[in-house]
Structures are given as C-alpha cells and as structure tokens.
Amino acid sequence: MSIASTTQQICFLVLSATTVIGSLGVVLLPNIVYSAFLLGGVFLSVAGLYLLLNASFVAAAQILVYVGAVNVLILFAIMLVNKKETLAAIPGLLVRRLLSGAVCAGLFALLLRVAFTTPWALPGPTPVGEEATIRIGEHLFTDYLLPFELASVLLLMAMIGAIVLARRDVFSTDVITGEPADQGLIEKDRTPLLIETSANAPTLLTKP
Amino acid sequence: MLSTGLLGAAIAPPGLDLQSSFLDLAEGMGLTPGAARLLWLPLPMVLVLVGAVVGVLVSVWLERKISAAVQQRIGPEYAGALGVLQPLADGLKLVFKEDIIPARADALLFSLGPVLVVVPVILSWLVVPFGQNLLISNVGVGIFLWIALSSIQPIGLLMSGYSSNNKYSLLGGLRAAAQSISYEIPLALAVLAVVMMSNSLSTVDIVAQQTGAGIFSWNIWRQPVGFVIFWICALAECERLPFDLPEAEEELVAGYQTEYSGMKFALFYLGSYINLVLSALLVSVLYLGGWSFPVPVEWITGWLGVSPDAPLVQVITGSIGIVSTILKAYLLVFFAILLRWTTPRVRIDQLLDLGWKFLLPIALVNLLVTAGLKLAFPVAFGG
C-alpha cells in the first residue's frame, strides 16, 4: 500500500470518528455551549471528508457557511441569552428519551439498509478536481437555476420576517401577541448625552 | 495524497521549481518517488512557519519603533542594534511567565480558544505565493480557502471569551464575532470582483493576470474602490485600530484576552500579528501585483540581452519576486501601524454602520461595475 493511500485512510478514519463522536456529543451533552462548540467540530470534520473526496470548493464553502456563519450565529444567540436557570423537570422524561431513542435507532437501521442494499457504482466517476468550481457555477446558472433562486427567495423571506419581528415599531401592535407594541423597545431618536435639555440643567448632572 | 494542490507542477510553468529539482535530486540519490515526496512535504511548511514567525518579530519591532517615532520617543534601543532583539525578549518573557487558568473558568475551552484562533491563520499561509512556484500549494480554491479559514477565528474568540468566566471577556468575544461576521461580507465581495477579472480563485493566477505591463497592470488601477474596501475590512478582521473594539482597553480591559497570561496570551499576540502580515501579503497579491516587479523582469532581461531561462537569471528573478512581495506587504504593515497610532477608535454602532450601511452597498456596486466593465472592455478587465 502506498504512503498516499495509507494517509488517506488514516485521515478518513480520524475524520469519521470525530464526526460520529462529535455528533453524539452535540445531542447528548447537557451543556448547550459544549453542544454548540462540538457542532462546529462536526462541521469541520465533514468539510475534511469533502476534501478527501476531492471536493475542495464544497469543503471551503462548508467551512465558510456552516462554521463561519451558522455555528457562529448559534453561539452568538446562546451567549446573548445565557441565563443560568434550572429547567423544570418534564414529566415522563424517561419515556420521551426512550421514544426519541427508538425513532433514531429506526432511522439509523433504515439508512444502514439503504447503504448496504444500494448497488453503488465502484469506483465512482472520476473526480473533476479543480474544474469542480467551474462546473458548480455552470450548473447553478443553467439546470439548477430555479432551485437556486427559490432558495434565495426563501432566505429573503426569512430575513424580512426577522426584521419585522425585531423592529416592533413597524406595527402599532405586537406581531406575536396582538397587544399594543411595547413602547420601551421602540428605537428612540438619538439625543447626544451632553446637550443640555433646558437652559440651566445639564442632563448628565441632574440625572439621579 | 490529496489531489487538491500542486496543479502548477503538472503544467510546468517557467521560473524556479524547487520541488521538482529537489525530487530529481532525491531520486538521483536512490530514493523511491514516494519517499522523496515525503521528505519534501515538511520543508516548505517549516519554511513558511519560520517565515511567518520572523515576520511577526519584524512587525512587532516596527510597531514599537514607529509608535515611538509617532509619539516623539526613541523606543527600544538597548536590546540589540536599534532594539531589534526587543520582540525576541518580549517572546522569551511570555514563555517564562506562569500559565494561569482562572478559578471557575472552563479549563478545556480556555486552553482550546487560543489554539482555534492561531491555527486557521497559520493554515492560510498555504496560499500565499512568493513566486510562480514559491508557495506551499497552488490550491484551486486559493483565495476562497483564506476567506473560509478566517471565518473559523471568531469561534475561537467566542470560546475564550465565554470560558474566561468574566464579563469583559465575554463582551469582547461577542464584539469580535459581530465585527468579524459583518466585515467578512464586503471583504469577500471585494475579492470576488478581483476573482471575476482573473477568472480564477488561485492566487498564482490572480498574480499572473497582473503581469504584462509592470506597475500599470496591477489591479489597484482597475479596482481602486475594491482596494480601499479590502484594506478597511482587513484592518477590521485583524482588530487593528481604528477597529480594535473587541479589546478596547478603556472599556473592556483587554476584551477576550483579559484573563490570559504566558504562552496562551502569546498565542493571541502571535495570531494577531501573523494575521496582519498575512492580510498585507494578500493585499499585495490581490491588488499590488504580488511578486511582480514594477518593471517586468522579461523587459529587463530583454534589454540586457540575456535569456530569462538561464539558471542564474532564474535565481535572481525568484529573489526579486520574494523581495518585492515582502516589500509591498511591509509597506502596507507600515500604513497599518501608522493608522493605529494616529486614528481614534470608532464606536461599536459606527463600526456596524460602516460595515453594513456603507461598505456592503459600495462593495456590491463595485462588483456590478466590474462585471459591466468586464463585458464592455474584455481586453482590460480580463474577459
């Protein structure tokens, strides 16, 4: 066996082990911050697997989108609302865990069956290597144009929705509850702190 | 082996090719091709790692000397001639400091954070070319790899900010992540305009497209707006003043690095300077013609009447390439240092406004105009 293929196998084994163990950690660890960091590790090792499959552009895109954007945003959200609170015990936790475990095991068995019964064409098509970037671009602008544009419209809708939810001054009533909008949350006009509001009372000094 | 790199070896372009020379030499000494490659692989990596660390030492010395000059002081002068050994002394001091993990901090994440900050930056040196064949690996995704790798860094910053168990650290980490996300987008758009002109993501191709007419074919003349956007965003990504909010010392002590000492702090320090030098190198690759000399070397050899393929001429050409890349990069580092010691810090809302409301639209317009010019004048804008 040549040095190259040995290296490749070692890389594959390490990356797969990291992916599997990391994903188990994401699901099973009680500390949500650890889960989020492990998720980043899982994304990175999946990118490594893409690299092993000669898909360097997809690997770089995986790192940029999933690690650099999705995972950072998840961490950001967790840390912005990082309140230490003990969660109330949910009744029937054991039953729920058993049920979800059973569903996952069933899915795993199904996927295993698919993996072992599908007649995979081995060896697969020859890797295109560095041409891949050009091929992806061609496909995105020809036969996959509609799904591509639909995905961007979906993202645009999500973005507008987020803006509407975040900027409550758009509506006079709260979008979620239907009650009058909380005026305290509405963005105020900026008044510089040091400008005096009345002739003899500087704002900073008279504030209690 | 991964077939992502070393495309250049297959085409056998002109210029020095140290790799094939080394492989020929090793095989001539009776080694198998595989063993010869295995011997070759660590060499450029170690060389670039050493180069990066030396680059950091030089820029730390420059920072101290230039800041002293800005403030009309002398700066370090006892450690070596003109104080050139001062950065080494700084480094040694950090090595011998006690490595403290604060009580009730998360020890694992606390140690992992600095590593996650430094490793992607060093990995990005993979794609920095100093000559036609003088880079570790001519990866096809080239400059995109750098953008992707630099997006890992905020995770390390968030990690160290969170695990320090300190309000200032957490705020610094959050600010670093917010800043990094916001400035990555205009940065990527500015790079995209350059990529569009050179029809390739590879850094070698991007430089090759800027050769031909010497200084006049550099991208800075065709992408002046992109150059400014890229430079601002690179400064913001390096967290240099005027964008050093994550470690703003008046507000946040030292941001995410507050609780660090010894080698872990040194890793942050090293990482930020390696990142600065790397950004400067990439600006020179993307906009200032990389290793190309202001007057094309082919013209000079033509005037002198020597063949550009002669071994001695090739060695001289290669040296000129390395020297001009480094000179251009350090000119930019000089500007970054000068900016740091002469500009005030922006506020966080000004920072985000600048990123999202100014740079992003400008970068989009720049991309659109570049696309239009490419269609209208394919000769000048790489049709």
Span B265-279, mean pLDDT?
89
Which pLDDT band, with edges at 50, 70 and 90, does A208 fall under? very low
> Taking all residues of chain A, what is their mean pLDDT, rounded to a whole number?
79
Q: Are B132 and B15 in contact (CB under 8 A)?
A: yes
In sign, the C-alpha dihedral spanning B326, B327, B328, B332 is positive
> Taking all residues of chain B, what is their mean pLDDT, rounded to a whole number?
83
Q: Look at A141-145, B6-10, B144-148, B330-334 and tell me which has the smallest mean pLDDT.
A: B6-10
Span A197-206, mean pLDDT?
49
pLDDT of amino acid A181: 59
Q: Look at A28-32, A203-207, B207-211, B272-276 and tell me which has the smallest mean pLDDT.
A: A203-207
Question: What contacts B131, CB < 8 A, 6 or more positions away?
Answer: B15, B16, B291, B318, B321, B322
Per the DSSP assignment, residues forming a β-bridge with A173 are A180
What's the angle, vertex CA A84, arms to CA A79 and CA A88, rounded to 5?
A: 125
Question: Mean pLDDT: which of A8-12, B34-38, B126-130 is highest?
Answer: A8-12
Q: Look at A102-116, A168-182, B297-311 and tell me which has the smallest mean pLDDT.
A: A168-182
pLDDT of amino acid B11: 36
pLDDT of amino acid A45: 93
Q: Look at A51-65, B244-258, B276-290, B357-371 and tell me which has the smallest mean pLDDT.
A: B244-258
Q: How far apart are CA B312 and CA B309, in angstroms?
A: 9
Q: State pLDDT tens for residues B234-270.
A: 998 888 878 887 777 777 777 788 888 888 888 888 8
Per the DSSP assignment, residues forming a β-bridge with A180 are A173
Interface contact A3-B38, CB threshold 8 A: yes
pLDDT at B8 exceeding the cut of 80 = no
Number of A–B residue contacts, CB under 8 Å: 91
- Position with higher pLDDT, B338 vs A176: B338
Q: Indicate the DSSP class of residue A173.
A: B
Q: Which residue has the tokens 């060896």?
A: A123
Tell whether A81 is within 8 A of chain B (Cβ). Answer: no
The residue in chain B having the minimum alpha-carbon distance to the alpha carbon of residue A74 is: B155
Assess whether the previous peptide bond of B186 is cis (omega < 30° from 0). no
Structure tokens, A53: 């499959």
pLDDT of amino acid A150: 93
Residues of A in contact with B177 (CB under 8 A): 72, 75-76
In angstroms, the separation between the Cα of residue A141 and the nearest Cα of chain B is 16
Q: Are A129 and A54 in contact (CB under 8 A)?
A: yes
pLDDT of amino acid B16: 60
Q: Which residue has the tokens 């400035």?
A: B183
Which member of A3, A7, A75 has the closest CB to residue B158? A75
Span B121-135, mean pLDDT?
82
Which pLDDT band, with edges at 50, 70 and 90, does A193 fall under? low
Question: Mean pLDDT: which of A25-39, A80-94, A179-193 is highest?
Answer: A25-39
B 138-167 residues with CB below 8 A of A? 139-141, 144-145, 147-149, 151-152, 154-155, 158-159, 161-162
Q: Look at A45-59, B15-29, B158-172 and tell me which has the smallest mean pLDDT.
A: B15-29
pLDDT of amino acid B5: 36
A 90-109 residues with CB below 8 A of B? none
Residues of B in contact with A79 (CB under 8 A): 158, 161-162, 170, 173-174
Q: How far apart are CA B255 and CA B239, in angstroms?
A: 11
Span B308-325, mean pLDDT?
81
Interface contact A129-B3, CB threshold 8 A: yes
The residue in chain B having the minimum alpha-carbon distance to the alpha carbon of residue A131 is: B140
pLDDT at A135 exceeding the cut of 50 = yes
Tell whether B4 is within 8 A of chain A (Cβ). Answer: yes
Q: How far apart are CA B259 and CA A185, in angstroms?
A: 34
Above pLDDT 90, what percent of chain B? Answer: 9
User: Whole-model pTM above 0.90?
Assistant: no
In sign, the C-alpha dihedral spanning B30, B33, B36, B40 is positive
Q: Are B4 and B140 in contact (CB under 8 A)?
A: yes
pLDDT of amino acid A177: 63
Residues of A in contact with B35 (CB under 8 A): 3
The residue in chain B having the minimum alpha-carbon distance to the alpha carbon of residue A62 is: B148
Q: State pLDDT tens for residues B68-94.
A: 998 888 888 888 788 888 888 888 888
Which pLDDT band, with edges at 50, 70 and 90, does A195 fall under? low
The residue in chain B having the minimum alpha-carbon distance to the alpha carbon of residue A57 is: B141
Residues of A in contact with B38 (CB under 8 A): 3
Q: State pLDDT tens for residues A158-189.
A: 988 888 877 765 556 665 666 665 555 555 55
Interface contact B144-A60, CB threshold 8 A: yes
pLDDT of amino acid A47: 92
Residue B62: strand, helix, or coil: helix
Tell whether B174 is within 8 A of chain A (Cβ). Answer: yes
In angstroms, the separation between the Cα of residue A171 and the nearest Cα of chain B is 24
